[in-house]
């Protein structure tokens, strides 16, 4: 039996440093409602969605820096997003900055199901950018300064009958897999290659890799495919 799972990618737009979480969450709720009207089953929000992308800025004041981080999830200001998602019966992915009770800082993301329950959590392991201030650039990329390397590892998550897994190899190859539990023979697979890594011989004849380059974050090469039948 074929099952349709519509995925919406939310274009949140620029979030300015002076915008508060209430305004940002209201924007996220609006995108959630629009996605639901268009028939989406799941919405993907960007990395560090709840604030401006503060790694662009050099901050020395710890109190100001910590104001970008969430001490609980969901907190009071973010709870309306969870409540609306539950009412509409739609899941979502959310990236945010996490401050743990023992004072640790992580670049975190969560998977939330259609009942508003957190089903998966990931703390970013491969942090791009730099820890020192770079001169003569339009913006910084200070993830290495503001975040610790994630400590949760790489897991397998299940949300509303969809299973998602990802594997990172020492060679620099990353593989993401997503499939439905009731029809596991059809799998969507994504490949990512680290900067400087050659395309593996097993993949080179069959797949083309797009390249995305950033002066601060480096080079990312990736491809996405849907496999049917044997795997």
| Tens digits of residue pLDDT in 119-141 | 999 999 888 889 999 888 888 99
Measure the N-to-C terminal CA separation of the chain; round to a whole number of Å.
20
- The model's pTM is 0.84
What is the distance between the alpha carbons of residues 143 and 58, in angstroms, rounded to a whole number? Answer: 11
Which residues in 47-172 belong to E strands, given as ranges?
A: 91-99, 105-112, 118-123, 156-159, 162-168
> Which strands make up the sheet holding 218-227, listed edge to edge?
156-159, 162-168, 173-180, 183-193, 218-227, 210-214
pLDDT bracket for residue 204 (50, 70, 90):
confident
pLDDT of the residue at 231 = 39
At residue 216, does pLDDT exceed 70? no
What is the distance between the alpha carbons of residues 113 and 186, in angstroms, rounded to a whole number? Answer: 21
What is the distance between the alpha carbons of residues 126 and 138, in angstroms, rounded to a whole number? Answer: 23
Residue pLDDT, tens place only, 139-174: 899 999 999 999 998 888 988 888 888 887 777 788
What is the distance between the alpha carbons of residues 150 and 126, in angstroms, rounded to a whole number? Answer: 8
DSSP 2: -
Q: Determine the distance from the C-alpha atom of residue 105 to the mean position of all C-alpha atoms in its chain, rounded to a whole number.
A: 16
Which residues in the chain belong to E strands, given as ranges?
A: 7-9, 42-44, 91-99, 105-112, 118-123, 156-159, 162-168, 173-180, 183-193, 210-214, 218-227
């Amino acid at each position: 039996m074929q099952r349709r799972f519509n995925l919406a990618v939310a274009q949140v737009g620029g979030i300015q440093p002076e915008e508060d979480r209430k305004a940002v969450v209201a924007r996220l709720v609006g995108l959630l409602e629009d996605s639901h009207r268009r028939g989406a089953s799941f919405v993907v929000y960007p990395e560090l969605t709840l604030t401006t992308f503060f790694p662009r800025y050099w901050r020395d004041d710890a109190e100001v820096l910590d104001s970008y981080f969430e001490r609980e999830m969901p907190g009071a200001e973010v709870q309306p997003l969870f409540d609306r998602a539950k009412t509409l019966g739609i899941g979502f992915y959310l990236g945010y900055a996490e401050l743990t009770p023992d004072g640790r800082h992580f670049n975190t993301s969560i998977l939330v199901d259609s009942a508003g329950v957190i089903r998966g959590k990931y703390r970013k392991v491969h942090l791009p950018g730099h820890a020192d201030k770079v001169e003569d650039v339009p913006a910084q990329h200070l993830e290495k300064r503001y975040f610790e390397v994630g400590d949760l590892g790489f897991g397998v998550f299940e949300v509303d009958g969809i299973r998602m897994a990802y594997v990172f190899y020492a060679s620099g190859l990353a593989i993401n897999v997503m499939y439905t539990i009731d029809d596991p023979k059809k799998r969507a697979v994504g490949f990512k290659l680290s900067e400087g890594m050659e395309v593996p011989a097993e993949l080179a004849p069959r797949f083309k890799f797009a390249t995305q380059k950033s002066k601060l974050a480096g080079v990312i090469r990736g491809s996405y495919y849907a496999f049917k039948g044997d795997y």
